[in-house]
Chains A and B, each alone.
Chain A
Amino acid sequence: MAYLILSSLTLPAFWLLLSGFWDHGLLLAFGALSVVIAAGFGLRMERLEPTCYRPAMLLRIPAYWVWLTGEIVKANIDVVKRIWWPQEHPISPTMQRLHCTQQTLLGKTIYANSITLTPGTVAIEVSDNEILVHALSGAALQDLATGDMDRRVTRLEGAR
């Protein structure tokens, strides 16, 4: 149900913004048709593996995005330093399993994607409560191992 409400709001908005046609009857009808088809495919996939949505998450996510963008900028500067000045900033690739505290699939996906999106760390494998991470430097892995990002994603997910 939550999925249907969410997609009936976002898909038409998406179509209108991409096409830029707001007052052409035939094209709007085609747009409505494509929205229905896309929502139908989405519903089929939802039946296979239901996602649990929490409305509160939509309110919390902008703040998380701002924080994540800051992290991405910092991580980029770090990696660029290691590329241009390998003597002063040597790389030390490490690989380690990290504990993660998210309960839902959506939360885990957000956490693993956030790890991969910040350059310097890549989530290789995600299991029930562990994530195998490859990091360009020990320092980047240490930052992650403090669990700051993990806590933020769990809070975003909404603790039960």
Chain B
Amino acid sequence: MALLLDLLTTLLLAAGVFLGISGGVGVHRFPDFYSRVHAAGVTDTLSAGCILLGLMLQAGLTLISMKLLFILLFLWYTSPVASHALTRAAEHSGLKPVLSEPRDAS
């Protein structure tokens, strides 16, 4: 049982780190600010979720797991608010997105 939990933790942590590195690479590969927000979103949502879930499995049903759950909830509540505020500020300042079709955005 303990071995199974360790294995699951390893898998989840590896998945989380892989997703994080994907997001980090995406932040460099994508062409403009607005598409980079999506790459950063990968590291904020599922990467954080996988890593914290992996840690929760190690902690078991304790207050430590509860705190990890709180961290996850904080991140998942605040990260969309931060991205939304960021893109809205960029849009208001007149930063133009690179769009695939030349159709008017507004």
Contact = CB atoms under 8 A, between A and B. Distances in A.
Chains A and B directly touch (beta carbon < 8 Å): yes
B98 A20 contact: no
B46 A134 contact: no
Interface residues of A, number: 34
B99 A122 contact: no
Interface stretch (A38-46, A111-119, A147-155): A111-119
A134 B79 CA distance: 16
Contact of B100 (A79, A124, A138): A138
Given A83-B26, A95-B99, A117-B79, A76 B45 contact: yes
A92 B81 CA distance: 24
B97 to A, nearest CB: 6
B66 interface: yes
Interface string B68-106: 001000001101110110011001000001111100010
Given A118-B41, A122-B87, 13 more contacts: A17-B70, A76-B19, A80-B22, A80-B42, A83-B23, A92-B100, A93-B34, A95-B105, A119-B38, A119-B45, A122-B37, A123-B84, A124-B91
Interface of A: 17-18, 20, 72-73, 76, 79-80, 82-84, 86, 91-95, 112-114, 116-125, 132, 134, 136, 138
